[in-house]
Structures are given as C-alpha cells and as structure tokens.
Amino acid sequence: MSSLVPEKYIEERRTQVDARLNRLWKERRRYPEGIHEAMEFSVMAGGKRLRPVMCLATAETMGAKSDELVDIACALELVHTYSLVHDDLPAMDDDDFRRNRPTCHRVYGEAMAILAGDALLTLAFELLAGWGNYYDRSDDALLMVSELAEAAGTEGMIGGQVLDISAEGQDASLEDIEAINYRKTAALLRASVRIGGIAGKADPRQMNQLSGYATALGMAFQIADDLLDLRGDISKTGKEAGSDEAREKATYPLRIGEKNAENKANELYQEALSYLENWGEEADILRYLARLLVFRDK
C-alpha cells in the first residue's frame, strides 16, 4: 500500500485516471468526429472519479500496483458517465445542467447523446477485454466483464433507473427506496470494489468482505447525495437544491426526514467499516474513502 497521506493518494490516482482518459480520445480515430467530442465532453466534465479511485484503492490494499490497472478503472468511469448521459435525456430525467455545465444532449442534441452513451458503455467492455489480452489475464478480465455487465444491467443500474422513474410521484415504501438505491448507486460501487478485488487476487473470504463494505457504503453514499440535493447549493453540487423534492423522487430524506436519513447513513457507514474489522492498516485508505463518501459537502 502507498505510504502517501490519503488526500494525496486520492489526488494522485485521480490524476492518473484523468491522464489515461485524456489519452483515450487522442488514441482513438477521430472519425466520425462528433461522437468522440460528445463522449469526451461528458467524461471530462470534472467528475470526482470516485469509482476508479475505489477500484484502484481496493486493488492496492491487496498489494497490486495501480499502474497496470488504470484501464480497468477508466472502464468504470465510462459506465458511470454513460448512465448520467442517458439519465439526463429529455425522455428520462430531462436535466439541462450537471456539474454546472449543460448536459450532453443540450450541447450535442438528443440523438448524439443517446449514441454517446451507447458508445461509452461499449468502450468500457472494450477496455476490459483489451486489458485482459494485453496482460494475459483473460480469466480475471472475463470475471470483470461479468461483474460490470451485472452491475450495469437490469438487476443493477438499468433496473434502478426503471424503478426510479416509476416511483416518481408515487408513495414509495422504504423497501422501494432501498431497491432503487441499491441498483442505481450501490451496484456499480460494489462492482468497482469487487473488480479491484479481482485485480488484486482477493480470496473468496476477502471478496465477501469487500462486497459487504462496498454495498453498505454505496447505500450510505446515495443517502448522502440525497441530503445534499435537499440542502446543497448549486455552486457546490452543480444542481439546484430541492430538485428531488420538486420531482417527488423516492429518497430517504424525503420519506423519513433529514435527521432520520442522516442516522441511517451513519449506520450504514459503520456497517461498511465493520466488514474491514480484521483488516490491518493496509485498508486504511478504504476506511478513509468511506468517510469521504458519506460525510461530504459536495
């Protein structure tokens, strides 16, 4: 594990991921131009690269080196970005702004935004396959393809978006909200950590603990996000405060109140840490990241 202080570690990994993402557009043929521009615009919009960082931190906790794993980490960011681009579409959440910038379809049009999303998802799988072929780790790469496809599919992110849309304006139960949060948010975070585990050759027991950690953390992360939506100011979150409320979205804070939702997030945070109980200080970065994801102001 790196001996860097956590803030510095995260900053370095982010820079590493951003550098690779930047190279990605330069490497690829520029024809047809428009689609690559729309992809780059969406990916390079200044995200926090949380999923790539979680993946790399997990792999490094297991003793792997991050240099060889950047393509895998980037694949996770591409899938995350694809989901944002499609979720923002007029037929879905109809969002005009994200991260203080106009959304992809506002700049490039709806057709191009649909295709850019499709292309980002496709490119993610291409990156995983390319990595496995290059490093001669086909078995591991194929497990990663499975993990990613499941997390992105109808039992994961896509199913979550379906439930999210159909829950709008309905009197959603806590169970419904949990089902949405698991699929929309926790599934990809879980996959990011598990893929890091595969990269770092985690054994089955470690893999179970990593899954428990990431799932609880993912659920807490979504509640933290919903709390920010309720309270946050647009200069920090890039979104207008209260947009979930206006849309009658199914969220914990709107369902059980701010204070109860805060308690729930804290509980899930503690649960996440408990899965790392028997891990030494090599897992400190995962503990730090958990704190960062749940207790944040943007």
* From candidates 126, 240, 282, 297, binder to a copy of itself by CB under 8 A: 126
- Residues 26 to 55 in contact with a copy of itself, rule: CB under 8 A: 28-29, 31-32, 34-36, 39
Binding residue for a copy of itself (CB under 8 A) from 1, 107, 162, 241?
A: 162
10 lines the binding site for a copy of itself (CB under 8 A): no
3-state secondary structure of 102: strand
Residues 63-92 that bind a copy of itself (CB under 8 A): 86, 89, 91-92
271 touches a copy of itself by CB under 8 A: no
Q: Is 129 in the site for a copy of itself (CB under 8 A)?
A: yes
Nearest to 116, CA basis, from 34, 38, 22: 38
Q: Which of 129/230 has CB closer to a copy of itself?
A: 129
For the four alpha carbons of 128, 60, 48 and 288, in that order, the dihedral sign comes to positive
Residue 272, classified by CB atoms within 10 Å of its CB into exposed (0-12), middle (13-18) or buried (19+), is buried
Q: Considering only residues 119, 189, 193, 265, which one is a binding residue for a copy of itself as defined by CB under 8 A? A: 119
Q: Residue 297 CB: number of other CB atoms within 10 A?
A: 10
Among 6, 130, 212, 238, binds a copy of itself (CB under 8 A): 130
Among 54, 59, 70, 152, binds a copy of itself (CB under 8 A): 152
**CA–CA gap between residue 219 and residue 178 (Å, rounded):** 8
Of 45, 62, 46, 51, the closest CA to residue 13 belongs to 51
Residue with Cβ nearer a copy of itself (62 or 143): 143
Among 141, 177, 219, 224, binds a copy of itself (CB under 8 A): 141
Q: Which of 15, 22, 100, 133 binds a copy of itself (CB under 8 A)?
A: 133
CA 27, CA 20: separation in Å to the nearest integer? 10
d(CA 211, CA 151): 12
Segment contacting a copy of itself (CB under 8 A): 50-58, 62-70, 151-159, 261-269? 151-159
Spell out the residues 6+ positions from residue 50 whose beta carbon is closer than 8 angstroms to its own: 189, 293
Pull the structure tokens for residue 156. 């994961």
Applying CB under 8 A, among 139, 233, 282, 297 the residue interacting with a copy of itself is 139
